[in-house]
Every structure is written in structure tokens, then in C-alpha cells.
């Protein structure tokens, strides 16, 4: 591997170190170096959102971030959503509302939906739709996804979790 750089970062709350070429994306580094294949490559150019993660709490396409940019920062992926073996309300509602068919876009949607609800615990339907407009789904027509996010938001407001 040419230009390998050692990166020290935090992923889903755990300290992680990996080596990657300086021109490698964080998406590829997470998948191939750290082994977290929940991050999906749909396009590699930031148009589909399947690789969505949060970086220090901000929603980003990991294919548009370099692996080396993760140095000293906090990365959160779909794998970090369920704590103590319990599904996050978003995950549970996605299953309950049949908000996934093939499921390839689901990790990205979950990360994006969580980023929305962290900022805005009571979004309107329009706010949900625009917050998720960066995540492409080809199977569902988004209908059940929006219902699932609304249901999870309601659930989370009730429990005042996270």
C-alpha cells in the first residue's frame, strides 16, 4: 500500500486504529480496514447517501470524506445504533412498518434519520422528507420510511431517550 497513514479515531464509541492510503475514502477505510460493512457504497460520489455516517455528530457521506480526516474525531455508523443488544426505536419501527425491502439503503436512512431526530425531535412530514432527501431508495417509494420515522420520533419523545 502506497502512502499509508496510521489513523487513530473513535468509531461507535470505541477507540480504533487503521492504516490507509491518503487518497482512500473513509467509506472504504471503514468497510475494508475496520470491517464495518454496514456502510454501503451506492455511487461513490455523494449522490445516494448509502454511505451516510456522522462525523462529530454531523451527517456526512463517508465517500466524500478521506479516511485520514477521521483522525481524532468521532465516527458513528449504523452498527452503533443498538446499545446493549436492544434495537434503537428507529430500527424497531423500520421493521414494524416494513420500511425496508431490499435493505441496502436502510443503514444510511437510519443514520440520517437519527441525525434529524437528534436535532429536531418533533419534525413535520415535510421536514422529515427534506432531511432524508439525500438518501436514495429505489424499492419503497419512501412512504413506509416516513411513517417509520414519525413513529420512532413519537416513541422517542414519549420515552425521552437519547
Partner 1 sequence: MGHDQKYVDKKYEVVGTRFNRPDGIDKVTGKARYGADASAPGQLVGRVLRSPHAHAQILKINTKKAEQLPGVKAVVTFEDMPDLTSGDQGLADILENCMARGRALYDGHAVAAVAAVDEQTAAKALKLIDVKYKKLPHVTDVDEAMLESAPVIHQRIITRGVEPAPTKPSNISARTQMGYGDVDAGFAEADVIVEKTYKTEQTHQGYIEPHACLASVNPDGTAELWVTTQGHFVFRNVCASLLGFDIAKLKVTSSEIGGGFGGKTHVWAEPVALALSRKANRPVKLVMGRDEVFRATGPTSSTSIDVKMGAKKDGTITAAVAEMRYQGGAFPGNWAMLACMTAFACYDIKNNKSIGWDVIVNRPKVAAYRAPSAPMAAFAVESTIDVLAKEIGVSPIDMRLKNVAREGTVAPYGPTYGPIGIEHTLQAVKDHPHMRAKLKKNQGRGVACGFWFNIGGQTCTDLNIGVDGTVNLALGTVDVGGSRSSMAMIAAEELGIPYEQVRANIADTTSLGHNDMTEGSRGTFSSGMATVFAARDAINVLKQRAAKMWGVPEEDVIWENGQAVATGEGHGNLPPLSLKEIAAKSGRTGGPIAGHNEVTADGAGMGFASHICDVEVDPETGRSTIVRYTVVQDAGKAINPDYVEGQFQGGATQGIGWALNEEYIYGKDGCLQNPGFLDYRIPVCSDLPFIDTKILEVPNPLHPYGVRGVGETSIVPPLAAVGNAIANATGVRMTHAPMSPPRVLAAIDDLENAG
Binding site for partner 1 (CB under 8 A): 1-2, 21, 23-24, 28, 31, 36-45, 47-48, 50, 77-79, 81-82, 87, 91, 94-98, 100-107, 110, 126, 128-130, 132-147
Q: Which is nearer to partner 1, 49 or 70 (CB)?
A: 49
Q: Which is nearer to partner 1, 7 or 110 (CB)?
A: 110
Q: How far is the CB of 66 from partner 1 (least distance, A)?
A: 14
Q: Are 103 and 132 in contact (CB under 8 A)?
A: no
Q: Which residues contact 7 (CB under 8 A, 6 or more apart)?
A: 17, 18, 19, 20, 29, 67, 68, 70, 71
Q: Are 77 and 108 in contact (CB under 8 A)?
A: no
Cell numbers representing residue 18 in the block: 487503521
Rg (CA), the chain: 16
Q: Which is nearer to partner 1, 70 or 132 (CB)?
A: 132
Cα 69 to chain centroid, rounded: 17
Q: How far is the CB of 89 from partner 1 (least distance, A)?
A: 11
Placement of cell 416513541 in the chain: 155
Q: How far is the CB of 129 from partner 1 (least distance, A)?
A: 4
Q: How far is the CB of 69 from partner 1 (least distance, A)?
A: 18
Q: Which is nearer to partner 1, 72 or 141 (CB)?
A: 141
Q: Which is nearer to partner 1, 9 or 106 (CB)?
A: 106
Phi and psi based region of residue 149 (left: phi greater than 0; alpha: psi -120 to 50; beta: remaining)? alpha
Q: How far is the CB of 6 from partner 1 (least distance, A)?
A: 17
Amino acid at each position: 500500500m502506497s502512502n499509508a497513514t496510521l489513523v487513530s479515531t473513535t468509531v461507535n464509541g470505541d477507540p480504533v486504529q487503521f492504516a490507509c492510503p491518503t487518497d482512500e475514502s473513509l467509506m472504504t477505510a471503514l468497510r475494508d480496514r475496520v470491517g464495518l460493512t454496514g456502510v454501503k457504497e451506492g455511487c461513490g460520489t455523494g449522490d445516494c447517501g448509502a454511505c451516510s455516517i456522522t462525523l462529530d455528530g454531523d451527517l456526512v457521506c463517508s465517500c466524500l470524506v478521506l479516511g485520514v480526516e477521521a483522525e481524532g474525531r468521532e465516527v458513528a455508523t449504523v452498527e452503533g445504533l443498538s446499545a446493549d443488544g436492544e434495537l434503537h426505536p428507529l430500527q424497531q419501527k423500520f421493521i414494524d412498518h416494513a420500511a425496508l425491502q431490499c435493505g441496502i439503503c436502510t443503514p444510511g436512512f437510519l443514520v440520517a434519520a437519527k441525525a434529524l431526530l437528534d436535532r429536531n425531535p418533533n419534525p413535520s412530514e415535510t421536514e422529515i422528507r427534506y432531511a432524508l432527501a439525500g438518501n436514495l431508495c429505489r424499492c419503497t417509494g419512501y412512504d413506509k420510511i416516513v411513517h417509520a420515522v414519525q413513529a420512532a420520533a413519537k416513541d422517542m419523545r414519549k420515552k425521552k431517550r437519547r
